[in-house]
Amino acid sequence: MVFFSSIVNFLRTERETRATRTLLHAMDDHLLQDIGVRRDQIDSLVAEQRDLKREKATAEAQNRRNSRGSNSALGGRGLAAQH
């Protein structure tokens, strides 16, 4: 199930990346200048944003795995059982 969810997340991210790139390339140079982007920066900015999203998702998944591991060590009772 995790593998399937990873594929779905990858495809969703790629679709969002393409949509963002298409939107920015469709803007005229004056509008891009207003938002502080040069046309030659679009692809690298979009790729950087995609990579940041992936890193965040990876960190969140790791945190969830770590949380589940600590809960199972307590017999599934969570942190409240320690007090």
Each residue's pLDDT expressed in tens, for the chain with a length of 83 residues? 778 888 898 899 899 999 999 999 999 999 999 999 999 999 999 999 999 988 998 898 889 889 887 655 555 555 554 54
Predicted confidence at residue 44, as pLDDT, reads: 97
Please state the domain extents for the chain. Answer: 2-60
Instruction: Tell me the whole-structure pTM to 2 decimals.
Output: 0.66
Under 8 Å CB-to-CB from 3, ≥6 apart: which residues? none
Predicted confidence at residue 77, as pLDDT, reads: 54
